[in-house]
Structure 1
Amino acid sequence: MEVEGIPFKKTGYFSDLICDYLEGKETLLPFYDRPPRIDQFKEQIKAKQNFPETHRKVLYSVLKDQYKNVGISEDTKVNISLLKEASTFTVVTGHQLNLFTGPLYFLYKIISTINLTKELKLSNPENNFVPIYWMATEDHDFDEINYFNFRGKKLQWNKMASGAVGPLETDGLEAILEAFSNEMGNSINANRLKEWFAKAYLEHDNLTDATRFLANELFGEHGLVILDGNNAELKRLLLPYVKRDLLENASYKKVIATIDQLQALPENYGIQVNPREINYFYLVEGVRERLLERDGKYYINDTKIQFSQEEILAELEKYPERFSPNVITRPLYQEVILPNLCYIGGGGELAYWLELKDMFEEMKVPFPILLLRNSALVITGKQMEKLHRMNISLTDIFLKQNSLINKKIREISNIDIDFTPQKKHLEEQFKGLYELASQTDASFLGAVKAQEVKQLQGLDHLEKRLLKAQKRKLEDQVMRMTEIQNQLFPNKSLQERNLNFSELYLEYGERLIPRLMKALRPLSGDFSIVKMD
């Protein structure tokens, strides 16, 4: 196995905001506390060292309860116990409850998190660091999670669903297992995948338990701790912050002010998410709807439920589990209940975290270090051989398909398709005409300019026609280039956003995760190209 890295900026798949954040651009410095470098974590530990002991006790108690019916590894058991100690801190990633993990980057998020805890232990041996996977059990976007892709097919769970996805019953997934099994065959690796799917979704009653089982099967031996934040005891720790949202719109005011600062930057980054006056949902069985306030009354969107101010505060005190953080306040909730140092997420996630620092300061909660998760392209030995034969570099393969084909056709063609010298020669000739026109009749300048534009356009047209003709002549090479790029970039997007881990597991089996853990370095700052043998 070999690993190469290329800068995220050179892939063409990451936003200017994220690339500038990774490069430490000065204009973004006000929007976070510390950059994601190993030397910054000692200061982050100091910032989080006053995490309340009472919160640790609640966290430990809840985790013990959530793991009571799970086959827990020794490393995970130790990590849960360590959370009681003041010298223990966490690194967190979060993800939706995608069917059978969804896209491949689910694995990369968790691997980044586990590997960072190992690096932190080496540089800070006096402390302990626990990797946490935060399950998005309260999310209600069922259509985003009810499928996974396998060999170009979308295996989709068709079910009527409303409210939070975590409690959803897993009925109807036998049909997905059957379709999945029919596609895979009966190899050892295929049978292992079938077993995981069956045990996760056919032997567990709801999506929360199924996802916990699967993530634990994949990463439990590495000490991963899986947390479901949809818990009354944990949410009781959030009560003071929910009250400030209900009574003062505190989160809204701070995030709106930060968005104004971001929009005032010359880079024109755009805004990832916008806050609401109240950044919590009301959550009961089958319902997760926005909380609204009008004229001192509180309403639950699209329902007949309403409260006076006194009633909503009483409801919060009695049933804290019914108040579900949205995208703005979930990060705050995470940092309130965990002794956390770092959040690891994708580009979209980090973009909205960069809107939140002032809100955290207002709430007097330390803001974590933000780290872009590892991204990777896994290339097999056979695919590498094909790239070498076609003289396609690892940078070339990230080009948009038309640009890749044009570049390589120009390189391999036996005639010169680049008309740049002719264009320069034409421009030199017209310089003389411009000089002549200015000396004789200035009104002639417009006609000269029009003729120059016309002739340059003519050369462009001829160049494109010649390139098109060469593509036809070299059709076999074009087809081979297109085929290999489509394999590596399904649907003309990153592999990690389309492939399910099962396709790689069929090939590499139990070697897959150890190899990825060895290949991916969370603080490398590069996009990883992993060449598997």
Structure 2
Amino acid sequence: MRDPMQTMATCFEQVASFFPSGDPKRQESFAERAEYLTTRNYSRERLADGLKAYHEFLGASAVTLQMIEELRHKETLAVITGQQAGILTGPLYTLYKAVTTIRLAQEQREKLGRPVVPIFWIAGEDHDWLEIQKTYFLNSAGKPFPCTLPGDGEGKSVGSQPVPSWEVLEDQFREMPDGEFKTYVFKHCRQFLDQAENLSQWFALTLQWLLKKWGLIFFDPMLPEFKQLAAPMYEQILKMHNDVREALAERTKAWVELGFQAQIQPLGGEVNLFLANPERRAILEQERVFYLRGQEETWDLDALSALLAQAPERFSPNVVTRPVVQEFLFPTLAYVPGPGELNYWAQLGQVFSTFGFVMPILFPRLSGVIVTPAWQKTLVKEGLTLENVYQGLGSYKEGLIRAQDSLDIDERLQRLRAVIQSGYAELEPFEEIHANVHEWLIRNQAKVDFQLEYLKKKLWQAQRKKCSYILQRLQMLEGGLTPNSSRQERVLNPLYFVMLFGDGFIDRLMELPLTSDFREQEVLV
């Protein structure tokens, strides 16, 4: 399968028809998008009022509150990103999304000469419990260990889930190594748990604390005032679901024909809305009859529309329609996706057109790998590159162990094995004594071979122990750069690095340039 991010970076013209607002590497794209948004109208006052009340509850900084006030003005635009409400902010890539959004908004504010505000859409309506249930830190041995929420989510939206007790987290944090700012981080984690009423609020409070200096606005789509604002869009989605399905199918077919993967794979009958009843379930339609996946109760269009008018808080968009709800609510200059999101946004251009919208510019998030001084020292001392680590250090470690073998373990054992085999060959005449001697010799030799293999294993274990210092450093390097044999940004929690380096870690991330190749950047801290 082709990589859409690489294609966007190197030959955008090949995918230009799937991203109608233009190449994110060209400033002209942003200028043209800004002009288009000037022709659109939004419920700015109601939106700003709701955001102000929410952020006063969060205890937001004056910078953020000023950004919200700017959103009231017609010339103000937004750069938006989003992610599920992962515990303790979730993996590093969530923070990278937020950093990219802030940096891009700053850059475009300067280049366009008009207010551009950064917004983080908290996807608290989602119910993918497994995605947010755990997050990973490193213990003192450099091995990843999970911090996990109890329970199974019961199929309910993440934003309706209660926060855990501090005792649950504190017990799991016992594996955490000491760091200069560990007490500082724990203090704030406990404070946010006491303040938050649900996982979405906990997420917002934690990420807001990390980015307090830069005015990031948080949007929780589950708040009643925002549900009321989005209700007209839900109504359109409900009535136009057949058109949406056709539009999605058309763009998906063209995307796949170009050699890309279809990230959204409908099962059939989707209305592209969910209904909480009380579990969050997809609304499906067949022959003008509506029902929830896995349930028997049915509605006609009028009944479902009446329910929407009465209780919009029970409805929420799915992956296909959340972007158009965002477009309905916000003057979105650009959206900051991850690699997987970029794939499915490419399937949505015609869906936007169905509602009379134009998809925003897609600007891929920063991708980074944090390299601590200790890891950097190991890389330099061993002459390794990041790519070496990504490919796996198994062969390299085995080579180091064998290079320290000054006694030729394998060769000496092989010579012993040859002597033993020769000795058993000399015993073959004994087979004339009894018919069973042949089998006895074979079984006896097999036992000796087993003992030789055992001896070999123990000798190499001892040899590895002699190399334990360098092996431990390499283990810590792999655990930090490729935890759980995956990319660092997809596993490790940013608070691990805040415990080690304090707020300076966040400041370092905010210095990263917005590059045009969208490749992973090495971040030395």
Q: Give the shorter-chain TM-score range.
A: 0.7 to 0.9
Cross-structure match for 2:159: 166
- Displacement, 1:123? 1.1
Task: Give the equivalent residue in structure 2 for 1:122.
Answer: 110
397-406 or 107-116: bigger deviation: 397-406
Match of 1:84 in 2: 72
Deviates more, 1:174-183 or 1:512-521: 174-183
Tell me how far apart the structure 1 counterparts of residues 86 and 206 of structure 2 sit (CA, whole Å): 11
Amino acid at match of 1:519: L
Counterpart of 1:374 in structure 2 is 366
Given residue 83 of structure 2, which amino acid in structure 1 is its aligned partner? H
1:253 to 246, 261, 277: 246
Question: Does the residue aligned with 1:69 lie in a helix, a strand or coil?
Answer: helix
CA distance in 2, matches of 1:479, 1:248: 57
After superposition, residues 412-451 of structure 1 pair within 5 angstroms as none
Distance 1:90 1:148 in 2: 29
Alpha-carbon offset, residue 528 of structure 1:
0.5
The whole-number CA distance in structure 2 between the counterparts of 1:247 and 1:123 is 38
Distance 1:407 1:60, change over 3 A: farther
Shift in Å, 1:481: 5.2
Aligned partner of 1:218 among 180, 194, 210: 210
Contact 1:232 / 1:319 at 8 angstroms: preserved in 2? no
- Partner of 1:93, secondary structure, is strand
Question: Please, which of 81, 90, 101 is the counterpart of residue 93 of structure 1?
Answer: 81
**Secondary structure at the counterpart of residue 96 of structure 2:** helix
Q: Using the alignment, how far apart are the partners of 1:187 and 1:135 within structure 2? A: 30
User: Which segment drifts farther, 390-399 or 215-224?
Assistant: 390-399
Per the alignment, residue 140 of structure 1 pairs with 127
> What is the CA-CA distance between 1:331 and the residue it aligns to?
0.8
- Equivalents in 1 of 2:103, 2:238: separation in Å? 36
Q: 1:376 to 1:504 in 2, by over 3 A?
A: same
Give, in whole Å, the separation in 2 of the partners of 1:226 and 1:316.
25
What secondary structure is seen at the aligned counterpart in 2 of 1:202?
helix
- Asked if the contact 2:241–2:271 (Cα under 8 Å) also holds between the matched residues in 1, the reply is no
Indicate if the aligned counterparts of 1:164 and 1:286 stay in contact, CA closer than 8 A: no
CA displacement at 1:318 relative to structure 2: 2.6
Q: 2:62 aligns with which of 74, 77, 99?
A: 74
Q: Spell out the pairing of 1:295-310 with structure 2 (5 A cutoff).
A: 295-310=287-302
Structure 2 unmatched ranges of 5 or more? 139-143, 405-459
Give 1:196's match in structure 2, choosing from 188, 202, 205: 188
- For residues 284-295 of structure 1, the aligned pairs below 5 Å read 284=276, 286-295=278-287
Distance in structure 2 (CA, Å) of the matches to 1:15 and 1:74 = 44
Q: Secondary structure at the match of 1:52?
A: coil
Instruction: Tell me by how many angstroms 1:482 deviates.
Output: 6.0
Question: In the alignment, what sits opposite 2:24?
Answer: 36
What does residue 169 of structure 2 align with? 177
Q: Is the 8 A contact 1:88 1:130 kept in 2?
A: yes
For residues 280 and 58 of structure 1, do their structure 2 counterparts lie closer, same or farther at Cα, with a shift above 3 Å needed? farther
Matched, 1:314 2:293: no
Residues 138-194 of structure 1: per-residue CA shift (max 9 Å, x gap): 001112111111222112111242311101122x43333222443347765111211
Letter in 2 for 1:79: M
The answer to whether residue 35 in structure 2 is matched with residue 46 in structure 1 is: yes
Secondary structure in 1 matching 2:34: helix
In structure 2, how many angstroms separate the alpha carbons of the residues matched to 1:407 and 1:118?
A: 49
Amino acid at match of 1:511: G
Q: How does the TM-score come out when normalised to structure 1?
A: 0.78
Q: Distance in 1 between matches of 2:480 and 2:288?
A: 57
Q: Distance in 2 between matches of 1:368 and 1:406?
A: 50
Q: Which of 478, 486, 493 pairs up with 2:486?
A: 493
Unpaired runs of at least 5, structure 1:
1-13, 413-468
CA distance in 2: counterparts of 1:404 and 1:19, whole angstroms:
30
Residues 1:28 and 1:400: Cα distance change in structure 2 (over 3 Å): farther
**Counterpart for residue 272 of structure 1:** 263
Conservation of the 8 A alpha-carbon contact between 1:38 and 1:120: no
Alpha-carbon spacing, 1:110–1:121, altered in 2? closer, same or farther (3 Å): same
Percent identity over the alignment? 26
**Deviation of the 1:345 alpha carbon:** 1.6
Q: Aligned pair 1:111/2:99, yes or no? A: yes
Matched, 1:391 2:383: yes
Amino acid at match of 1:196: H
In 1, the alpha carbon distance for the partners of 2:400 and 2:346 equals 40
Partner of 2:52: 64
How far does the alpha carbon of each residue in 1:283-338 deviate from its partner, in whole angstroms, 9 at most, with x for none? 33642111122332211223344212221122222322322100111111111101
Report if aligned partners of 1:291, 1:300 keep a CA contact under 8 Å in 2: yes
Q: Which residue, 311, 330, 341 being the options, matches 2:333?
A: 341
User: Aligned partner of 2:88: which letter?
Assistant: F
2: distance between equivalents of 1:94 and 1:408?
44
Q: Distance in 2 between matches of 1:408 and 1:130?
A: 52
The 8 Å contact of residues 284 and 290 in structure 2, kept in 1 or not, is answered as yes
User: Can you list the C-alpha shifts for 1:495-528, whole angstroms capped at 9, x where unaligned?
Assistant: 1111111221121012111111113536563311
Instruction: Decide whether the 8 Å contact of 1:234 with 1:337 is kept in 2.
Output: no
Q: Whose radius of gyration is greater, 1 or 2?
A: 2
Moved more, 475-484 or 491-500: 475-484
Instruction: State the Cα distance separating 1:99 from its structure 2 match.
Output: 0.7
**How many residues matched?**
458
Equivalence for 2:324: 332
- Call closer, same or farther: CA 1:403–1:347 in 2, change over 3 Å: farther
- The range that moved more, 334-343 or 182-191, is 182-191
Supply the distance in 2 between the matched residues of 1:186 and 1:485 (Cα, whole angstroms). 20
TM-score, normalised via structure 2 length = 0.80
Aligned-partner residue type, residue 148 of structure 1: T
2:353 counterpart residue number: 361
For residue 248 of structure 1, report the CA deviation from its aligned partner: 4.5
SS at match of 1:345: coil
Q: Deviations over 1:24-65 (max 9, x none)?
A: 344322211211125121111112112314x21221122123
Amino acid at match of 1:504: F
1:28 & 1:407 partners in 2: Cα distance? 45
C-alpha contact (below 8 Å) 1:177/1:194 kept by paired residues: no
Question: Residue in 1 aligned with 2:433?
Answer: none
Q: 2-side partners of 1:401 and 1:205: how far apart?
A: 45
Q: Deviations over 1:371-426 (max 9, x none)?
A: 111111111223222212222234444334468779999x99xxxxxxxxxxxxxx
Change (3 A) 1:129 1:296: same
* TM-fit CA distance, 1:245: 4.0
CA contact (8 A) 1:297 1:309 kept: yes
In the alignment, is the contact (CA less than 8 A) between 1:375 and 1:496 conserved in 2? Answer: yes
Q: Is the 8 A contact 1:97 1:166 kept in 2?
A: yes
How far did 1:208 drift? 2.1
Counterpart residue number, 2:437: none
Question: In structure 2, what residue type is equivalent to 1:485?
Answer: E
For the residue of structure 2 that corresponds to 1:299, the secondary structure is strand
